[in-house]
Amino acid sequence: MNNVWWLNLQSPDASFAFKKRTAIPELWRAYHAEKVTEMVVQVWMGEEFTRKGESQRPDFWAGHLAAINRLQVRIVPQMWKKLEPYIQQGRRWQPEDEKAA
């Protein structure tokens, strides 16, 4: 709701970043970008394991953790690279930027 569903100001990290958002906007944007990347990984994993449905083999938690880690290694650095202009300068990401690159 209102694109702040992830924001829990009871969290010390969130509270600190929120309080510094005016003085150090890069800190707030980096915190926001971190939460967005975490959400993307969770959604991607949820989609993957939901899609498998009944065909998914029972596995230990370690197997799921390894899958999350592999996904993070594969996509998170790319996401941070694309979010860097937003974090550093507050620029918005535009899909058209992808086509030009």
Count up the domains in the chain and report the number. 1
Evaluate whether residue 66 is within a structural domain.
Answer: yes
Evaluate whether residue 6 is within a structural domain.
Answer: no
Q: What angle do CA 72, 76, 80 make, to 5 degrees?
A: 165
Q: Are 21 and 28 in contact (CB under 8 A)?
A: yes
Evaluate whether residue 61 is within a structural domain.
Answer: yes
pLDDT tens for the chain, 101 residues long, are: 445 555 555 678 888 888 888 999 999 899 888 888 888 888 887 787 777 666 666 666 677 788 888 888 988 898 888 889 888 988 887 766 555 55
The per-residue pLDDT for 1 is 42
Evaluate whether residue 54 is within a structural domain.
Answer: yes
Evaluate whether residue 78 is within a structural domain.
Answer: yes
The per-residue pLDDT for 65 is 81
Domain that holds residue 81: 12-91
The per-residue pLDDT for 99 is 52
**Residues near 83 by beta carbon (within 8 Å), at least 6 away in sequence:** 33, 36, 37, 93
Evaluate whether residue 38 is within a structural domain.
Answer: yes
The per-residue pLDDT for 26 is 93
Q: Which long-range contacts (CB under 8 A, 24 or more apart) does 49-57 make?
A: none
